[in-house]
Amino acid sequence: MSELEVQATLSRGERSRSRGRRVTPFEVLAVVVALFLLVAGLLPGLLAPGDPLGIDPAAAFQPPSPAHWFGTDESGRDIWTRVVHGAGTSLVIGFAATAIGLGVGLVLGTIAGMLGPAVDFSVNRLLEVLFAFPGLLLALLFILIFGPGVWTATVAVGLSASPGYARIIRGQLLAVRRSSFVEAATVLGRTRRQLLLRHILPNTLAPLFVLGTLGVGQAIVWASALSYLGLGAQPPAAEWGAMLSAGRTYLTTAWWMSFFPGLVIVLTAVAATVLGRAIERRARYA
């Protein structure tokens, strides 16, 4: 914030600064959800000691009860256990897909931003073609070629998110490249490599941390959507999207089969968004 803005909006500035620091109840909830997912992902046995794949036909279609918190499915598998064990898969997909998206985006964005107008033009037209298709459609196309599965779904989600990242990275990079501190470093006699590695990239990537956090939630939702369509994780794997899809058939008689997987997908996405925004706000007012 410039000095002027601060002067002109003293009162507003004061308020927004304190707003930047205050932790809202939603943020606390989001942190709790994130911690839960992390524990579930790393040590699922701690929260649900049972076997996510172990069937017990005698206990099929049981509604939520103290014995089965989230009920059981058509084969008598405990939904709670499966949801907890599914967290790991979802998190790996979410992080891996975001990493792929950011990685590809970073390469494309840096090429476009650093290698001159001709390259910039070409990369931009390529990105526009990719933008013309909805992300999920791109992912479907990719799976059509390489076949369904957890890893193809992950790569597919990552690739379809990458044009967006590339655009943002390119824009950020161009802005940083023209900033006066890069100019000052040029005056000090820095080489292009030094400029890029020491000043331009670090300052381009800092805001991406926020985008990445938001992206993880998005990627989890997308991967679940692909699994739901039968293109990602395959039954009987404990994966939220696949579970949601399996419960669809019994929606009228056993609502819990799809409700609880759906709930965690929503909670994860919301938590990632709230956390991303919280980090963004703090970064801005820091």
Partner 1 sequence: MSAEPNTGDAPSAVARVLNLSVVFGGTPVVSGVSFDVSAGRCLALVGESGSGKSVTARSLLGLAGAGARVEADALAVAGSSVLGLSERAWRRRRGKDVGLVLQDALVSLDPLRPVGREVADSLRLHMPLDAVARQARVRELLAAVGLPDAGERMRQRSGELSGGQRQRALIAAAIALDPPLLIADEPTTALDVTVQAQILDLLENLKAAGTGILLISHDLAVVSRIADDIAVMAEGRIVESGPAVRVLAAPTHPITQRMLAAIPADKPRHTALAPTSTDTRVVGSGRNRSAIATTTNDSRGETGGAREVVLEARGLVKSFRRPGGGQFLAVDDVSFRLERGTTLGIVGESGSGKTTTARLALALTAPDAGEVRLLGHPFTGIPENERRALRPAIGAIYQDALGSFDPRFTVQDILLDAVTGGRRSGPAASARVRELLDAVALPATLLGRRPLSLSGGQRQRVGIARALAARPDVLVCDEPVSALDVTVQAQVLDLLDELQRERGLSLLFISHDLGVVQHMSDRVAVMQNGCIVETGEASAVFADPRHPYTAQLLAAVPLLPA
CB of 174 to partner 1, least distance (A): 16
111-170 binders of partner 1 (CB under 8 A): none
Closer CB to partner 1, 128 or 183, in the complex:
183
CB of 7 to partner 1, least distance (A): 7
- Separation CA 252–CA 235 (nearest Å): 21
- Can you tell me which of 67, 132, 175, 184 binds partner 1, judged by CB under 8 A? 184
180 makes contact with partner 1 (CB under 8 A): yes
Window contacting partner 1 (CB under 8 A); options: 36-44, 60-68, 159-167, 184-192: 184-192
Residues 6+ apart with CB under 8 A from 173: 109, 110, 113, 114, 200, 201, 204
Closer CB to partner 1, 14 or 128, in the complex:
14
- Can you tell me which of 15, 125, 248, 282 binds partner 1, judged by CB under 8 A? 15
- Can you tell me which of 185, 229, 270, 279 binds partner 1, judged by CB under 8 A? 185
22 makes contact with partner 1 (CB under 8 A): no
Closer CB to partner 1, 8 or 53, in the complex:
8
58 makes contact with partner 1 (CB under 8 A): no
Window contacting partner 1 (CB under 8 A); options: 10-18, 110-118, 122-130, 221-229: 10-18
- Separation CA 281–CA 246 (nearest Å): 39
Contact between residue 238 and residue 89 where contact means Cβ atoms under 8 Å apart: yes
Residue 72: beta bridge partners? 78
283 makes contact with partner 1 (CB under 8 A): no
> Which letter, b or e, does each residue of 185-208 get, where b requires 16 or more Cβ atoms within 10 Å of its Cβ?
beeeebeeeebbeebbbebbbebb
19 makes contact with partner 1 (CB under 8 A): no
- Can you tell me which of 35, 181, 234, 283 binds partner 1, judged by CB under 8 A? 181
Which CA distances in Å does 190 have to 25, 72, 116, 193, 255? 47, 64, 19, 8, 64
186-225 binders of partner 1 (CB under 8 A): 186-191, 194, 198-199, 202-203, 206
CB of 282 to partner 1, least distance (A): 15
Helix (H/G/I), strand (E/B), else coil: 231: coil
Q: Closest Cα partner for 254 from 59, 86, 85?
A: 59
- Give the number of residues in contact with partner 1, rule: CB under 8 A: 28
Q: Closest Cα partner for 256 from 100, 115, 138, 80?
A: 80
Closer CB to partner 1, 23 or 283, in the complex:
283
Contact between residue 153 and residue 139 where contact means Cβ atoms under 8 Å apart: yes
Residue 62: beta bridge partners? none
14 makes contact with partner 1 (CB under 8 A): yes
CB of 110 to partner 1, least distance (A): 18
- Separation CA 225–CA 76 (nearest Å): 24
Closer CB to partner 1, 5 or 128, in the complex:
5
Q: What is the DSSP letter of 200?
A: I
- Separation CA 286–CA 284 (nearest Å): 6
Q: Quote the tokens at residue 111.
A: 């090429």
The site for partner 1 (CB under 8 A) is made up of 2, 4-5, 7-8, 10-12, 14-15, 179-181, 183-191, 194, 198-199, 202-203, 206
